[in-house]
């Protein structure tokens, strides 16, 4: 069936939502909700920290789209950068050729990346960057004479993307089970959820951090150091609801990776570009990985791009003879996206947004922590402009909701109620139920207060309905 442009020229109030229901296959979406009469939310416009739907209603964007719109919506400067680049050179691949914007962007990322991470391989998003990092690790070890090092270690409940390799690295069984068997070689260790840490370690974050890091060493020993290629970790783990690294965690992880000759990949798909404070979160948290994967905030979402940034050590065997990395993407490092990224990095610097996140984060956290007086709020955690609020049935015992309650609470009520109350954010149960917040980096006290007061009224109602 085809739809005539005329059908869109004179839209009825629900015309777009109805067409979305009938034709648009949405990502990670239960379509039965819409077939049963649910209204597809259609977002038509954005300005600063706010978005508007097709009914003219305004929402505070509490998730920066999807952890992406760092500098806020509606920036003319970014639209102009895209248009100018499209006029000058709309497309050229990076397959044995280069173009100015990819070169400039690579140089700029390398200048800010920690250590000797100077080699930038562009992709179109985070999952491709993760996929690229694993493939590169495998080839690197073959080239340096350790061909059996192919396995990867990552953490429970962590999300690293949907390509089959990245999905193997992902630690969410429900996201994987329909696609098994996946790429072999993915092994999981505990994450750094202090709230759910073994009881004897909860009061001592440092001891918990060392314990959690040592689980990586244990997994390497169990699998055999000669078979393990890399460890993939987010600086602050998103999925499960924002798990920051306890003190000493990354120092110990780095030491373990060096001890066993295993590469450390910092998956900064969410955490880079100011989300934690700096351009790269590994700098914020004080560790030097062997590779960084990043995407999302690089363009503030105005155009798609991702990158895998590798150290000189990893690049070295690829710089010789006939050796090359047989891997790439048509749209990796797209000129329009690279031009937008450069302008976006200019804005982040010019407007002092890195410093703004650092100086405003304590107030953001303190505001959210006022919600801890609600019986349903068990924990508030995170860093920078990146927080998770864990919901519990019993604060004293930290008992979580069963599947039915979780379904009723998160899917049946909370997501929609928050949205109806004017706050776009995410209620997530990939681990224990959490509300996730990661607004554009331009928000200040008024928006933070608005987030907290909306959460307070909706979470109060959620508790009453349980």
Ligand X SMILES: Cc1ncc(COP(=O)(O)O)c(C=O)c1O
Q: Which residues bind ligand X (CB under 6 A)?
A: 125-127, 130, 159-161, 234, 238, 267, 269-270, 295, 306
Closest to ligand X by CB, 170 vs 311, is 170
Cα gap 303→290, rounded to integer Å: 27
Please say which residue, 179 or 222, places its beta carbon nearer to ligand X. 179
Residue 240 Cβ, how far from ligand X at the closest point, in Å?
12
Residue showing tokens 């100011």: 274
Nearer to ligand X, 165 or 190 (CB): 165
Q: What whole-number distance in Å separates Cα of residue 341 and Cα of residue 339? A: 5
Chain centroid to Cα 220, Å, comes to: 26
**Residue 461, C-beta contacts closer than 8 angstroms, at least 6 positions apart:** 417
CB neighbours of residue 219 within 10 Å: 19
Rounded to whole angstroms, the Cα distance separating 347 from 369 reads 30
User: Cα(253)–Cα(206) distance, rounded to whole angstroms?
Assistant: 13
Q: How far is the CB of 167 from ligand X (least distance, A)?
A: 10
Q: Are 129 and 270 in contact (CB under 8 A)?
A: no
Residue nearest to ligand X (CB): 126
Contacts of 98 by beta carbon, 8 Å cutoff, 6+ apart: none
Pick between residue 170 and residue 367 the one whose CB is nearest to ligand X.
170
Closest CB 166 distance from ligand X, rounded Å:
6
State in angstroms the smallest separation of the CB of 123 from ligand X. 8
Instruction: Calculate the CA 169 to chain-centre distance.
Output: 14
* CB of 159 or CB of 401, closer to ligand X: 159
Give 234 or 428: the residue with its C-beta nearer to ligand X.
Answer: 234
Q: How far is the CB of 464 from ligand X (least distance, A)?
A: 33
Min. distance of Cβ 168 from ligand X in angstroms?
Answer: 13
Sheet of 50-53, strand order = 43-47, 50-53, 58-61, 423-424
């Amino acid at each position: 069936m085809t739809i005539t442009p005329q059908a869109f020229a004179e839209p009825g109030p629900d015309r777009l939502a109805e067409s979305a229901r009938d034709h648009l296959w949405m990502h990670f979406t239960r379509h039965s909700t819409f077939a049963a009469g649910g209204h597809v939310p259609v977002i038509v416009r954005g300005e600063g920290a706010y978005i508007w739907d097709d009914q003219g209603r305004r929402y505070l964007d509490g998730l920066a789209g999807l952890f992406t719109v760092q500098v806020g919506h509606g920036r003319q400067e970014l639209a102009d950068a895209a248009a100018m680049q499209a006029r000058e050179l709309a497309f050229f691949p990076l397959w044995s050729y280069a173009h100015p914007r990819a070169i400039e962007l690579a140089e700029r990322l390398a200048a800010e990346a920690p250590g000797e991470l100077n080699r930038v391989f562009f992709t179109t998003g985070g999952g491709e960057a993760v996929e690229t990092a694993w493939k590169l690790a495998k080839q690197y070890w073959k080239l340096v004479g350790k061909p059996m090092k192919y396995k990867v270690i990552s953490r429970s409940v962590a999300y690293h993307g949907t390509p089959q390799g990245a999905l193997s690295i992902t630690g969410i069984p429900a996201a994987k089970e329909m696609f098994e068997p996946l790429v072999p070689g993915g092994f999981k260790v505990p994450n750094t959820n202090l709230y759910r840490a073994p009881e004897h370690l909860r009061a001592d974050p440092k001891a918990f951090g060392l314990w959690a890091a040592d689980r990586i060493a244990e997994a390497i020993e169990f699998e055999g150091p000669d078979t393990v290629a890399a460890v993939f970790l987010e600086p602050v783990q998103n999925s499960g609801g924002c798990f920051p690294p306890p003190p000493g965690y990354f120092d110990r992880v780095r030491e373990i990776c060096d001890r066993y000759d295993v590469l450390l990949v910092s998956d900064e798909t969410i955490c880079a570009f100011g989300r934690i404070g700096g351009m790269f979160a590994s700098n914020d948290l004080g560790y030097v990985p062997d590779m960084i994967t990043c995407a999302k905030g690089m363009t503030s979402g105005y155009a798609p791009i991702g990158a895998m940034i590798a150290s000189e050590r990893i690049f070295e065997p690829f710089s010789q003879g006939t050796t090359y990395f047989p891997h790439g993407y048509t749209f990796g490092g797209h000129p329009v996206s690279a031009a937008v990224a450069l302008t976006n990095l200019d804005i982040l610097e010019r407007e002092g947004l890195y410093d703004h996140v650092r100086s405003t984060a304590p107030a953001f956290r303190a505001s959210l922590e006022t919600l801890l007086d609600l019986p349903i709020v068990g924990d508030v955690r995170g860093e920078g402009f990146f927080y998770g609020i864990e919901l519990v049935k019993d604060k004293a015992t930290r008992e979580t909701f069963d599947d039915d309650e979780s379904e009723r609470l998160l899917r049946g009520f909370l997501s929609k109620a928050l949205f109806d109350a004017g706050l776009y954010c995410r209620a997530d149960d990939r681990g224990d139920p959490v509300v996730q917040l990661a607004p554009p980096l331009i928000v200040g006290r008024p928006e933070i207060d608005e987030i907290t007061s909306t959460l307070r009224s909706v979470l109060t109602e959620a508790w009453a309905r349980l």
